[in-house]
Amino acid sequence: MMPTKIRIGIVGATGYTGAELVRLLNTHPNVEIAVVTSGRHAGELLSAHCPWLDSELVLSSFDPASLDVDAVFLCQESGFALHHAAELAQRMRVIDLSADFRLKDADAFRAAYGLEPATVPEGIRTVYGLPEITDHSRIREAHIIANAGCHVAASTLALNPFAKAGLVSGTPVIDTKTGVSGAGRSRAETAYLFSELDGSVSAYKITGHRHIPEIEQNIGRAVRFTPHLVPVPRGLHATIQFPSTCTDPISVLERAYENEPFVRVVHAPPQTKHVLGSNRCDVYATHDPHTGFVIAIAVLDNLVKGASGNAIQNLNLAFGLPETAGLPIHGLWP
């Protein structure tokens, strides 16, 4: 029998995704945050390092042997979950917000991340966690859930309905623009200073980006992917263009997402601010008769539907709760 309150651990609670989990889970009717960890600030109040949170939680060191919760969110850089997730998964549900378990192909993972894939003991089930494309029964049965990332979630939600319907010709060209929080809270490089970012837009990792194999795994074909950094705190905008015979792409999206609570099909190009603070992804598409291309757009909050909110969506499904429990559907405005 499921406990009245699901006891939750958050490893890496002072980072952007960890703190966002605290913000969202504080109002979740079925959850108790039992443990929050920090590698540098153990023994201190979480609110001392995340003053936007009204919290009395005290940070502790990460000790996998003594961690006693029903589910744990791992909010660390790639490589951390490789060493800890399988052990933890024998006692609790693990939701990993890094990329350590997202790729099915071991060689693709080695090439993208320069790490050896984890060895998962027999009987420990892993699943890719983007609920709109993953069978919910597999999420319920999984011990380790690999939470989808923000660029990939937006690109997949915009493109996958067309790929599944056989309506994509050629190589889709994906252009994403993300807010600076997508780089994480611990970044100290000059390139992330406000004085360097403000008033400028820059492309980065324009070939061989590590998200490419994840997108291709989701949609089943090669893509051309270019991410850009824009000087806003939150938000991700994905524009995808591809040759297609489809002249009514909005209908394709409406059929695909008619029963999905967190994907809204809109009839004008959406803005990132429309979904700020929400777990929603707004999608739009149109056909260009001049070139025979479909242009599909998706916007989401990179810290909510692109990370922590999607992770809570996976938690809800894993524990048989309503998929929408504790998750905001409305954005913040202005």
CA-based R_g, the chain, Å: 19
Put the strands of the sheet holding 93-96 in their side by side order.
Answer: 59-60, 31-37, 6-11, 71-74, 93-96, 144-147, 126-129
Among residues 282, 146, 167, 119, the alpha carbon closest in space to that of 217 is found at 146
* Beta pairing class for 236-243 and 293-300: antiparallel
User: Active-site residue 281, yes or no?
Assistant: no
Instruction: Encode burial over 305-325: b for 16+ CB neighbours within 10 A, e otherwise.
Output: bbbbbbbbbbbbbbbebebeb
Among residues 136, 122, 21, 111, the alpha carbon closest in space to that of 71 is found at 21
Q: Which of 50, 150, 246, 281 is catalytic?
A: 150
CB 267 within 8 A of CB 250: yes
Other CB atoms within 10 Å distance of the CB of residue 214: 26
The pair of structure tokens assigned to 225 is 């992917």
What is the rounded distance in angstroms from the CA atom of residue 298 to the CA atom of residue 214?
17
State the helix-helix crossing angle for 16-25 and 309-318, rounded to 10 degrees: 50
* Beta pairing class for 144-147 and 93-96: parallel
Residues serving a catalytic function are 150
